[in-house]
Amino acid sequence: MNISGGWRQAAIIGRHPVINDLVDQAPDPARRASHGNPSMKTLKKSSKLAHVLYDIRGPIMDRAKQMEDEGQHLIKLNIGNLAAFGFDAPEEVQLDMIRNLPNSAGYSDSKGIFAARKAVMHYTQAQGTQGVTLDDIYLGNGASDLIAMATNALLDDGDELLLPAPDYPLWTAVTSLSGGSPVHYLCDEANGWIPDLDDIRAKITPRTKGIVVINPNNPTGVLYPDDVLRGIVDIAREFGLVILADEVYDKVLYDDVQHTALASLSTDVLTLTFNSLSKSYRACGYRAGWMVVSGDKGAARDYIEGLDMLANMRLCANVPGQWAIQTALGGYQSINDLVREGGRLHRQRELAYELITAIPGVTCVKPQAALYMFPRLDPEVYPIQDDRQFFLQLLEATRVMLVQGTGFNWSRPDHFRIVFLPHEADLREAIGRIAKFLGDYRAKHAKQRLVSVDADPAEQAVDSPVKLAAKAG
């Protein structure tokens, strides 16, 4: 029996005999810690985790938690958790899940319940993907569960997976955890963050097993044009690679852009498509996702057997969440009300873009999809050495939480991701605080430069303080 500190205190004060007995028998955490277990070795995390990075919930989050425990109120622009910002899952979806709760206590088929998989099958047909049967559909605890399943079944130690940089860091993390080597291909900011097909080609080796494509993209919010998607399919076909297409934002689209499912562009290239209710249906917590295997499955029989084994081993996905899928995918698509001009997500994207790009030295490719922007901090204006440290300082000074660009496997400390989910007033407040912090940094840095240039006249010719101040704005 464990009694928490609060109860222990209450019991001592109240002197209730029964509770006091329990308190006396309960191990005091302080006593337990001081006794220790002499035969216990120091426990270290496994070496498999040595190269795993997931800074969306990393040290900045730990510091944020500490600050919240101290009673500070934070504005969290670090995670795409829609419910936390008042975006509700569609009521009909909620009700159908509740209605089916009595049918959800048992394990389901390891790939998922029939009705949900049938709905996913129809969804793939509507997207133009051919040849998908019920057997090709796996339901999971969100797309995350299935992404880990797909990499675990695919990669032997040292096998390479091509991943975008920047990426949604789960992909790089699970590639490493699966024993594989993540190899990042460039998404080119100068070209609207579109994948650089030459770079993809250049990075293919005999150990390359597949290409990950995140479209629409997190963290850049960019939607890829069809010719680029076709280019990726061609490369995969030429080198016999699997395509892993993460399309969880396929309905979070602004400005009337259209999403093309990668799987719809070929009938031969083996493609695994990942999606979920998390974003388009504002139901991250339902943990309801799906994976669809399409293309030529003949040559991939053994891999598919591996996927089946892993699906069987974890028995099944969360069953109440599975019941939400059929209702969500059919009928009225309320996400469209949020993303159309004047809709809440559309308004927030406009505002966040306008405010962020008004900050001197900050530029950004305007997102056409998803919930994020990935702005650039001009290194001449913001010569940041360690961006994690920089955004930790920003958190402490402003109580606004962001994730630094290197947290998305971007190699230089010159970007950050912002989530534009808060209401407009909160976004104004948050970005106002960020702007002030960056303004203070510019002023401080300009002053430092002034001192160093005074000390070394040779540098004056390179970048005068006046020139620098003008750049900094």
Q: Which residues bind ligand PLP (CB under 6 A)?
A: 80, 142-144, 168, 214, 218, 246, 248, 276, 278, 284, 289
Q: Give the nearest distance from C-beta 407 to ligand PLP in angstroms.
A: 13
Q: Which residue is nearest to ligand PLP (CB)?
A: 142
* Rounded Cα distance, 346 and 89, in Å: 18
For residue 178, what is the DSSP state? T
Helix axes 301-313, 142-154, angle to 10 degrees: 130
Q: Considering the complex, state which of residue 142 and residue 195 has its C-beta at the smaller distance from ligand PLP.
A: 142
Its sign, for the CA torsion 251, 255, 256, 258, is negative
* Rounded Cα distance, 358 and 3, in Å: 53
In sequence order, the 6+-apart residues with CB closer than 8 A to the CB of 401 are 60, 61, 64, 74, 75, 76, 77, 78, 395
60-93 in b/e form (b: 16+ CB < 10 A) is bbeebeebeeeeeebbbbbbbbbeebebebbeeb
Q: Considering the complex, state which of residue 3 and residue 403 has its C-beta at the smaller distance from ligand PLP.
A: 403
Q: Considering the complex, state which of residue 278 and residue 334 has its C-beta at the smaller distance from ligand PLP.
A: 278
Q: Give the nearest distance from C-beta 325 to ligand PLP in angstroms.
A: 12
226: three-class secondary structure by DSSP: helix
Could you tell me if 195 and 164 are in contact, meaning their C-beta atoms sit under 8 angstroms apart? yes
Q: Considering the complex, state which of residue 23 and residue 60 has its C-beta at the smaller distance from ligand PLP.
A: 60
The 10 Å Cβ neighbour count of residue 255 is: 14
Q: Give the nearest distance from C-beta 371 to ligand PLP in angstroms.
A: 8
Q: Give the nearest distance from C-beta 144 to ligand PLP in angstroms.
A: 3
Helices marked H in 314-406 — which ranges?
A: 319-329, 335-339, 344-357, 387-398
* Rounded Cα distance, 447 and 214, in Å: 42
Backbone angles phi, psi at 64, to 5 degrees: -60, -40
* Rounded Cα distance, 103 and 97, in Å: 10
Q: Give the nearest distance from C-beta 254 to ligand PLP in angstroms.
A: 17
Q: Give the nearest distance from C-beta 468 to ligand PLP in angstroms.
A: 37
Q: Considering the complex, state which of residue 154 and residue 284 has its C-beta at the smaller distance from ligand PLP.
A: 284
Q: Considering the complex, state which of residue 248 and residue 335 has its C-beta at the smaller distance from ligand PLP.
A: 248
Q: Considering the complex, state which of residue 215 and residue 264 has its C-beta at the smaller distance from ligand PLP.
A: 215
* Rounded Cα distance, 382 and 196, in Å: 27
Q: Give the nearest distance from C-beta 108 to ligand PLP in angstroms.
A: 18
Q: Give the nearest distance from C-beta 227 to ligand PLP in angstroms.
A: 22
Q: Give the nearest distance from C-beta 222 to ligand PLP in angstroms.
A: 12
* Rounded Cα distance, 384 and 14, in Å: 55
Q: Considering the complex, state which of residue 278 and residue 398 has its C-beta at the smaller distance from ligand PLP.
A: 278
Q: Considering the complex, state which of residue 407 and residue 465 has its C-beta at the smaller distance from ligand PLP.
A: 407
Q: Considering the complex, state which of residue 57 and residue 201 has its C-beta at the smaller distance from ligand PLP.
A: 57
Q: Give the nearest distance from C-beta 281 to ligand PLP in angstroms.
A: 10
Q: Are strands 137-141 and 160-165 parallel, antiparallel or unpaired?
A: unpaired
In sequence order, the 6+-apart residues with CB closer than 8 A to the CB of 453 are 459, 460, 463, 464, 465
